[in-house]
Amino acid sequence: MMVSKKTVILSLLSLIVAVFLGFLAFQGLTKYPKGTQVAGVLVEGMSKKDASALLHEKINIWKTEEFLFAQSEHEEVAIPRSIFHFDIDTTLNQLQARTKGWIPLVKKSNVVQPLVVEVEKNNTELTNLPTYVDIHSTLTRASTIASNLDDHIVEIEYAVDRNQQLAIVAETSITIPSELSNPTLNNLISQLNGWSIKSEEIFSVSEALSPITDTELPEINLIASGLYSVVLQSNLTVLERYSQGSIPVYAEPGIEVSINPKVDKDFIFYNPNVDSYTLGLVLDANQLHIKLESFVPEDALSYHVKNVSEVQPRTVYRYSKGLSPGTSRTIQEGVSGLEVEVYRTEQGEEKLVSRDFYPPEPKIVLLPISSGMLTENGTSIGSLEGENDISDFDNFLQNENPGTNEGNELDLGNVSEGNQEGSLDFYNFVSAYCAGMEAEKGELNSYYVEAENEEIRSCIESLDNNQLQLLRLMWASNNPPDTNEGIKNEDNQNQDSEEEEQIYVK
């Protein structure tokens, strides 16, 4: 039977169409349709093999970062990315099922598929997570982030109400001096109250309160001193602390802090614990209450101020012609200084935290002095009238003989004994002073003190330059140049000069 040409042509066309449709069907079955994504990675038009290779690459890139971070308003914890294991084959199988359409050979487009993730919940690194965190719920949230290869912050889920679990680790109260500003204190407290010091975090007062103005420094010093007290009662580590150099009325010796960003004075401490710590500051009338809270109560820690040594003030003598001979007037009463050591007790063992020195304030006594005295080079100071002349006199002394105490000592053994019959040389004059001599000029001229007396030697070595200069002036006034004696022998002049130099330069 003859087949018409038309029939042959139609058969060939049908075959071509069938082959083409089969090819399209094969392509549709083996490659992902338009808009298909896995964990945010576009895999449209890819085969399963190609998509798998691309996903492996993206996962390895995601794991180059060590941690995912979980946070709350109070703290942050790190979750290692190594605990997340991705099942790519199961992921792509689920994608294949989700792209199937209702009509055969037609697939759904724009399908988004997360990666299938398994979490290694028994990983040893997870044991460092705080005990009050709901680890299961927090890791479930972290798995969602990981399944999309995201870097978003995970929200911490707590096992119980956080605030109900906080325990007071340390606390203190400070009476606020009347000269400090309550509005300034309220402003500073509002910035610090509720501040969370996270695990392995460093806290700086200057940075927390930045920018700081000079007018706020007295209030900041008070707050920082209170923080120092509570930090010493915890196992937080003090990294930097400066003393005010004097004891404020609101603090005990050794438990005060000075803050001044302009000279890099700060109070800095470090939280070495797994748990975070929260600062609590409340102003109540003239009382500032400061507490340190955490989830896990610590063993009781304490601090002690020990080895308190009183430093007696020295007496500074100033001179004025306005006082009658034999009288004196105390301008300033001396105040003793202190040397203290602060210890922290940890597990029954005391550890030194700091040593502080609070210098004494000298007693200042005004004494009478004759006018027309001579300086070292023979020039006259002139009269010193009344107390108003004291500051000028002090300035004169500093300019006339600044001196230094570095690298020099008195060599008493090489000092000449001087002329016992004539006027006292300067060395013996100082020796007489140290021996407690308060005699008129005539008595001094006939007095000689042995330099070998240890008490006198010790007294001379303890004199500062200002005291030596004043004694030099008094000696000059008691030993004016005698024009009737003529010019001294040059050797004697050189000897006197050496003696005076050894007294002046220590």
Question: Strand 349-358's sheet: what is its strand order?
Answer: 302-311, 337-346, 349-358
Say if residue 87's pLDDT is above 80: yes
Q: Where are the beta strands (DSSP E) in 62-201?
A: 67-71, 76-80, 84-87, 112-113, 116-119, 154-155, 167-175, 196-197
pLDDT for the residue 274: 77
Say if residue 402's pLDDT is above 70: no
What count of Cα atoms within 13 Å lies in the side-chain half-sphere of residue 424? 28
Say if residue 458's pLDDT is above 90: no
pLDDT for the residue 432: 75
- Band (76; pLDDT cuts 50, 70, 90): confident
- Band (468; pLDDT cuts 50, 70, 90): confident
Span 301-314, average pLDDT? 87
pLDDT in tens, 405-447: 333 333 333 333 333 334 456 767 777 777 764 333 334 433 3
Q: Domain-by-domain residue ranges, the chain?
A: 27-155, 166-298, 303-363, 401-481+490-504
Per-residue burial over 450-479, b if 16 or more Cβ lie within 10 Å, else e, is ebeeeebbebbeebebbbbbbbbbbbbbbb
pLDDT for the residue 225: 96
pLDDT for the residue 180: 94
Of 33-47, 61-75, 342-356, 468-482, the one with minimum mean pLDDT is 468-482
State the DSSP code for 64.
Answer: T
Span 470-477, average pLDDT? 74
Span 171-181, average pLDDT? 94
Q: For residue 142, what are the CA distances in angstroms to 64, 88, 440, 474?
A: 17, 18, 94, 86
* Helix 465-478 and helix 390-400, axial crossing angle in degrees, nearest 10: 100
Model pTM score:
0.54
User: Between these two residues, 398 and 21, which has the higher pLDDT value?
Assistant: 21
Say if residue 217's pLDDT is above 50: yes
pLDDT for the residue 478: 65
Element (H, E) at 260: none
User: Between these two residues, 128 and 189, which has the higher pLDDT value?
Assistant: 189
Of 49-53, 312-316, 474-478, the one with minimum mean pLDDT is 474-478
pLDDT for the residue 349: 83
Long-range contacts of 305-308 (CB under 8 A, 24+ apart): 305/252, 305/253, 305/254, 305/255, 305/340, 305/341, 305/342, 306/340, 306/341, 306/342, 306/343, 307/339, 307/340, 307/341, 308/253, 308/338, 308/339, 308/340
Say if residue 404's pLDDT is above 60: no
How many angstroms separate the CA atoms of 456 and 448, rounded? Answer: 12
Mean pLDDT of the chain: 75
pLDDT for the residue 123: 79
User: Between these two residues, 29 and 444, which has the higher pLDDT value?
Assistant: 29
Say if residue 393's pLDDT is above 70: no
User: Between these two residues, 294 and 244, which has the higher pLDDT value?
Assistant: 244
How many angstroms separate the CA atoms of 54 and 469, rounded? Answer: 89
Percent of the chain with pLDDT over 90: 36
Span 102-120, average pLDDT? 82
- Band (102; pLDDT cuts 50, 70, 90): low
pLDDT for the residue 273: 85
pLDDT in tens, 255-277: 999 999 999 999 999 998 878 89
Say if residue 90's pLDDT is above 90: yes
Per CATH, which fold does 303-363 belong to? Answer: Resuscitation-promoting factor rpfb fold (2.20.230)
- Band (317; pLDDT cuts 50, 70, 90): confident
Say if residue 378's pLDDT is above 60: no
How many angstroms separate the CA atoms of 100 and 30, rounded? Answer: 12
How many angstroms separate the CA atoms of 97 and 101, rounded? Answer: 9
